[in-house]
Amino acid sequence: MEYLVPIEWGKCTKLQRQTLLTRPKTTSSMNVEQTVFNILNEVKIHGDKALYDLNIKLDKISLTDLHVTSQQISASSMMIGNKLKKAMKNAFDNITTFHQAQILNLVDLETQTGVRCQQITRPIKSVGLYIPSGSAALFSTVFMLAIPARIAGCKNIVICSPPPISNEILYAANLCKITEIYQVGGSQAIAALGFGTKTIPRVDKIFGPGNVYVTEAKKQISQRLEGIEIDMPAGPSELLIIADNNANPEFIAADLLSQSEHGPDSQVILLTTSLKLATKVATTIKKQLINLKRKNIIIQSLNNSLIIVLKDLQECIELSNMYGPEHLMIQTSTPRNILKLVNNAGSIFLGPWSPESAGDYASGTNHVLPTSGYTKTLSGLSIIDFQKIITVQEITAQGLMNLSSTIETLAAAEKLDAHRKAVSLRVAVLKEKV
């Protein structure tokens, strides 16, 4: 079977070009929307009982306690080998280092004499972190969410993950000093975090990726009257690679396959100036695919994916910016020359020695990124997502005297007389003291 047969952009019609980069349709449907709607209401009305019932119905697990005890969290350390512990600690350290550097510098200045303005940050008090655990326990997501939440200063950090929660997830949470962990997954976990139950507290903002039901639940709960803030819209994973004729086809094939294994609706794209490279990559994909464990998932993803041959790198960049990928790899002779031309991407990987897997796990950057073209307006997760920015102003008497004419003139021009009087009354008091 042929996968990713190279397409020559120059030979495509205008209509073909318009439809080529259309993202695959997700499995979301009216049925998913209604199912999620019903689950949200069930949890809102019946609380913990609904969570226990849904654990049995959906995850086939009967629990006596949703809460993971501190003893269970501590015991996870005994169930993990030293090699994995060492790797997890290395990733933890790198992610911590990068996110600590994101702490905003204090803004504190006089915009004019006697007018002091500041920008300060305050943490979101309570956050809920959803950690997926379907065909694979994504313990790396614990680091990507809990580390910036800790650095931001969030006081209450709650994790929800489908039962049974793996020892790897518990150990990652332990490294991040998270002790409030609950065994509940899917849209019911989002409902619990959004509404609160007797056991699980309501949070102020929900973070984390998930399947189509989790995504739909986050969308619905954020739109309710009593709704809650969410991190960002989440869709199927994406990777786009820009490569010239000097790129290594073995590397490119491996990178495309690595992102394809996230799910059947993932999409990977190669944009290249070389038909020879494109053909070699397509051949190499078939060879590398044979022994991969998630082969069936990858094949479905490859059916959504593309290799496109363009006339030059400028055309590749323009097409990439139009698509706005979640992950962008630049495997060209001088990748930094291209970097300055990239406007839309969630996370960028430069050169042959920067696999996308590094960003997923251990380089230090965050792997929670906008998808579905949202990179045109949204950024990847950072500590600022766990904080609020507050501005402060303090004006001296003389400072107000100096600024008053400007304020009064502008307020009068906007016909906001009360605004003007709030200043003029003060000015009158100051003039009486002179």
Average pLDDT over residues 265-279: 96
Residue 76 annotated as lining a ligand binding site: no
DSSP 401: H
Whole-prediction pTM = 0.93
Residue 141's CB: how many other CB atoms inside 10 A?
26
Cis before 164 (ω within 30): yes
User: Annotated binding residue at 259?
Assistant: yes
Would you state the structure tokens that stand for residue 324, as one six-digit string? Answer: 């706005």
Q: How far is CA 407 from CA 213, 419, 427, in A?
A: 51, 8, 12
> Which H helix or E strand runs over 307?
strand 306-309
- Which one is predicted more confidently, 18 or 174? 174
Of the spans 144-158, 206-220, 258-272, which averages the highest pLDDT? 144-158
**Structure-model confidence comparison of residues 3 and 177, the more confident one:** 177
Res 27: pLDDT: 55
Output the pLDDT for position 138. 87
Question: Model confidence over 157-182: pLDDT tens digits?
Answer: 999 999 999 999 999 999 999 999 99
Per DSSP, what are the bridge partners of residue 308? Answer: 7, 271
Q: Give the per-residue pLDDT at 221.
A: 95
Query: Mean per-residue pLDDT for 309-338?
Result: 96
Do 30-104+124-232 and 235-379 show the same overall fold? yes
Q: Across all residues in the chain, what is the average pLDDT?
A: 94
Predicted local confidence at residue 76, as pLDDT:
95
Q: Determine the pLDDT at residue 283.
A: 95
Distances (CA, A) of 116 to 108, 119, 159, 393, 420: 7, 11, 40, 6, 21
Would you state the pLDDT for residue 133?
A: 84
Q: Give me the CATH code for the 396-433 domain, please.
A: 1.20.5.1300
- Strands 7-8 and 126-130 come out as unpaired
Q: What is the pLDDT of residue 227?
A: 75
Instruction: Answer yes or no: is 237 a known binding residue.
Output: yes
pLDDT of residue 26: 62
Count Cα neighbours of 228 within 13 Å in the Cβ-side half-sphere. Answer: 24
Q: Does residue 34 have a known ligand-binding role? A: no
Q: What is the mean pLDDT of residues 179-200?
A: 97
- Per DSSP (E only), the strands in 131-245 are 156-161, 180-183, 205-207, 229-230, 238-243
Catalytic site positions: 326-327
- Could you write out the DSSP letters of every residue in 327-390? EEEEESSSHHHHHTT--S-SEEEESTT--HHHHHHTSSS------TTGGGT-----GGGGEEEE
- Any binding-site annotation on 99? no
Cβ-contact 165, 185 below 8 angstroms:
no
Q: If pLDDT is split at 50, 70 and 90, which confidence band does 4 have?
A: confident
Would you state the pLDDT for residue 1?
61
Average pLDDT over residues 265-294: 95
CATH superfamily of 30-104+124-232: Nitrogenase molybdenum iron protein domain (3.40.50.1980)
Q: What is the pLDDT of residue 433?
A: 83
* pLDDT beyond 90 at 225: no
**Would the annotation count 188 as a binding residue?**
yes
Residue 197: is its pLDDT beyond 80? Answer: yes
Has 46 been labeled as part of a binding site? no
* pLDDT over 60 (residue 218): yes
Sorted by where each begins, the domain ranges of the chain are 30-104+124-232, 235-379, 396-433
Superfamily (CATH) of domain 235-379:
Nitrogenase molybdenum iron protein domain (3.40.50.1980)
Residue 52 in marked binding region: no
Read off the pLDDT of residues 126-165 as tens digits, 9 standing for 90 and up. 999 999 987 677 899 999 999 999 999 999 999 999 999 9
Do residues 358 and 342 make contact, with C-beta atoms less than 8 angstroms apart? no
